[in-house]
Chain A
Amino acid sequence: MTAALALGDDALVLSHRLGEWAGHAPVLEEEVALANIALDLLGQARLLLSLVGDEDELAYLREERAFRNIQLVEQPNGDFAHTIARQLYFSVHQQGLYEQLAAGDGRFAGIAAKAVKEVAYHRDHAEQWTLRLGDGTDESHQRMQRAVDALWRFTGELFQPVEGVDVDWQALHSRWLETVTDVLGRATLTVPTGPQSGAWTAGAGRQGIHTESFGRMLAEMQHLHRSHPGASW
């Protein structure tokens, strides 16, 4: 139950953050791309949360402390570079995680085998943009580097073992680092050297401790459902 909640909340929260780009993305194609990725993640969230209970109740009626997502996915969109850095860190991780889950015979194998093929496109999208922004103009390079640096301290939590998720977390971490190092290198960006988690953040999302902006995100996500209980389209 904890495991499905953790993975489901990661997908749900990131889906909502990406949905916030609707109407604000730099070009129409990106508007569509980010919404498509958000939709895939929402599909994952629905399947995973349905293993735990009623998907709508879980999404709309839980308090902030009951969410088990990692803090990386709740970070505000920032500028486009921040969103892409968040996508790169998360999609490389999710691809590795789902590949391992799909290869096993645990309860997430079916969902992972389905989702991993979609996540490959998410990762490709993030990778292409990282290359384009990192190896682009001085301005885009600088902004992409800033984003990659700013989110680095939230990446340690990606590899904190989740009870009930039967994968090799150490292998996941080293493969992630290898891939991210390769992409950042090709994008002429520098791999951040700081710690992958701060004392105050270490693993806190999975325990229900979230960063300041998450409460505001939830308020927006939940207010319609809470204002009109039981309403449907």
Chain B
Amino acid sequence: MVTWTSVEEELLSLAGSVPDPELPVLTLEELGVVRGVDVSEPEGRVTVRLTPTYTGCPAIEAMSADIERVLHNHGVAEVTVQTVLSPAWSTDDISPEGRRKLAEFGIAPPRPHDAASDGPVPLTLSVRCPHCGSTDTELLSRFSSTACKALRRCVACQEPFDHFKEL
């Protein structure tokens, strides 16, 4: 017997399977931005709750459109994507698999937040170069190609790289 819960789970995994428009190696589920799916009875209208990574992130519109398209293609007639802010997204919401894929893609994954420190920028752990694995890397700029990344350079292999900075 199909229960509403299992339908919601299926819809959630469909919405979560959408690739991030900016970093297509990651799915929205791995990025941790899909917060939930509700199906309203009896109409069967589906509402997907999505949270932005950054307040001004322009990718949120593409994400919403992609989720709507995927669910439409799976026979859902009415889809609404609702943006939710609370609780605020954090880089700790990126799954371990997501972190692995980021590194493989050449972007140093964010470091986990230190519960003991209340600062926004954890400085205790070094950032590992995604190319050669060296931990001897330096910060070039706190802001890079997108709001979520910082620009670093590896001292060992001299390659510059993006670091998904902690939020």
Contact = CB atoms under 8 A, between A and B. Distances in A.
Interface of A: 29, 32-33, 35-37, 39-44, 46-47, 109-111, 113-115, 117-118, 120-121, 124-125
Interface residues of B, number: 26
B141 A121 contact: no
Nearest to B55: A43
Nearest to A45: B56
Contacts of A39: 54, 56, 58, 147
B85 interface: yes
Given A113-B86, A121-B120, A47 B140 contact: no
B56 A32 contact: no
Nearest to A121: B142
Contacts of A46: 56
B153 to A, nearest CB: 12
Given A32-B144, A32-B145, A40 B55 contact: yes
Contacts of A37: 143
A120 B143 contact: no
A212 B57 CA distance: 32
Top 10 A-B residue pairs of the complex, sorted by shortest distance between their CB atoms: A43-B56, A43-B55, A120-B120, A33-B143, A29-B141, A36-B143, A110-B86, A110-B85, A39-B56, A114-B88
28 contacts: A29-B143, A32-B144, A32-B151, A33-B141, A33-B142, A39-B58, A39-B147, A41-B56, A42-B56, A43-B52, A43-B54, A43-B56, A43-B57, A44-B55, A110-B88, A113-B85, A113-B86, A113-B88, A114-B55, A114-B86, A117-B88, A117-B167, A118-B54, A118-B167, A121-B121, A121-B142, A124-B120, A125-B143
B87 interface: yes
Contacts of A115: 55
A160 to B, nearest CB: 25
Nearest to B148: A36
A111 B142 CA distance: 23
Q: Which of B55, B87, B144 has the most CB of A within 10 A?
A: B55
Contacts of A117: 88, 90, 120, 167
Contacts of A113: 85-88
Contact of B56 (A33, A40, A110, A111): A40
Nearest to A47: B55
A66 to B, nearest CB: 23
A126 B52 CA distance: 25
A120 B144 CA distance: 16
Contacts of B90: 117
A125 B121 contact: no
Interface string B34-57: 000000000000000000101111
